[in-house]
Structure 1
Amino acid sequence: MQNLADQDMRRFGAVNWMGLWTLAQRETLRFLAVWTQTLLAPLVTAGLFLLIFNIAVGPGRPDVMGVPFLTFLAPGIMMMTVIQNAFANTSSSMVISKVQGNIVDTLMPPLSPLEILLGYLAGGIARGVLIALMLAAALALGLGLMPQHPALALVFVILGGAFMGALGLLAGVFANKFDQMAAITNFIVTPLAFLSGTFYSVDALPPLLNRISHVNPVFYLIDGLRYGMIGVSDSNPMLGMAVCLLSTLLICAVIWQMLRTGYRLKA
């Protein structure tokens, strides 16, 4: 008992860096092992979106916010792909562990709730950043699109991965079955991604829809990346960064409480 007490005292206030690194590595290697599905497939899907819009709209489409429509569209497609895959990474990992009954392998090691949270988020962010870098290279080669503010663009990609990775973990903790996760994806995540200025400027919306869009954190993610990539935006990027950061911290606080209490994780 004394040894356990001494170990707890040594553990209190410290970070289990080895455990955190191991969990983050597991979450990263998990999607790298099937890279054709987790990295290549999103790249192809994003390319098809751009191709279809280019064919359907055509070169005669008026400029949007002073830039060609395809150039305006590209950052929105990039961020949409990033957030969808960050969400999928954390949510699928959590739900699969719960369904297969091996979530105990994550809960039993000497990892604090915060360390578990950060470990899962690391995998979602890593997947989002890798996809963004691949898409940025493809856009540079295909459209000659080079980031106007690369550091800011990277910050918003990381924020996008963190926000939707946290939301995915929240959904994964809440869902006990795959059909529950599918419902969350179809009725929450997809509308957030599509109704956020991905394919249009929110200034073109009616006043009510415009105000609703400004409540959606995904709008600020897309708008911030658009500014980082092409130098135009519907809102102040600094405001968007603050909104996204606060939204991410709020979701992380909810997940931390769930992990701390074992909500829907412990029988």
Structure 2
Amino acid sequence: MDTKDLQIFYEVVQSKSTSKTAEKLGYVQSAISKRVTKLEEEIGLTLFTRSNKGMVLTQNGADFLKYAQQILTTVSDMEQHFHQKIATLRIGATPTISSNYLKKAYVNPHVTVYTFLISELFVRLKEGHVAIILTNRAYPSPEFHCLKQIREKIVWCYAAKRETLNMPTKIVVSRDPNCPYRLATLSTLTKKQEQSISLIEVDTLDVLLSLVSAGDALAVLPEKTVTSNKQLQADRTRSIGAVDLFVYKLKTNQTPIDLSFLS
């Protein structure tokens, strides 16, 4: 039994959703569903009742949760103890940012990367779960110190199978009102006075990418995200600018931090 499967099981319990768990942990939804099914097959029990209302624990699932929590707590304590001994750097980032900028960190034996929702990043940093975070939200606070600021190029993107970028009537954006890619999209549409375009709002990156790759809508995304996805292509003829990324640590953390892992 893989402890990663136990972590996935625990997160599904908390969110009651495989899609929300996928977004938090940096997986696609189908992978989360397969890992849960695999776990159920391994122990020979049904852990969840699946319905339109989400994933609800069965009685067997509730009993299994108690043991899973004990194992995860023990593993976390053990990792923290030995990571401290080898001075492992713990980094927090969203799935998109970690995919675009932390590829070197993932293969560095002295770095551990954790993916969280944007709303969780500063909480995890403040609680000491991670030493630094990468985020696309500025957070001026006396508690935090910005180690580095990065300009991230963003582009209009559309399905690779489309021959030209004829502006469709639909554009997909994050439902998060503070998402910088959403704000850049709305700003551009306002400047161009586009009145006939309707917005599709979605909660997860998976859904956004599926709509764009299917040719149903356009979106504004980081150039790194677009160029690494064979189902997407960037519009090089329309300039939209850049957004800022920030690397934060607690001001009380005086340990020198090497940022050479940023790619």
> TM-score, with normalisation over the residues of structure 2?
0.27
> TM-score, with normalisation over the residues of structure 1?
0.27
- Looking at both structures, which has the greater relative contact order when contacts are Cα pairs under 8 Å and sequence separation is at least 6? 1
> Which structure has more helix as a fraction of its residues?
1
> Which structure has more strand as a fraction of its residues?
2
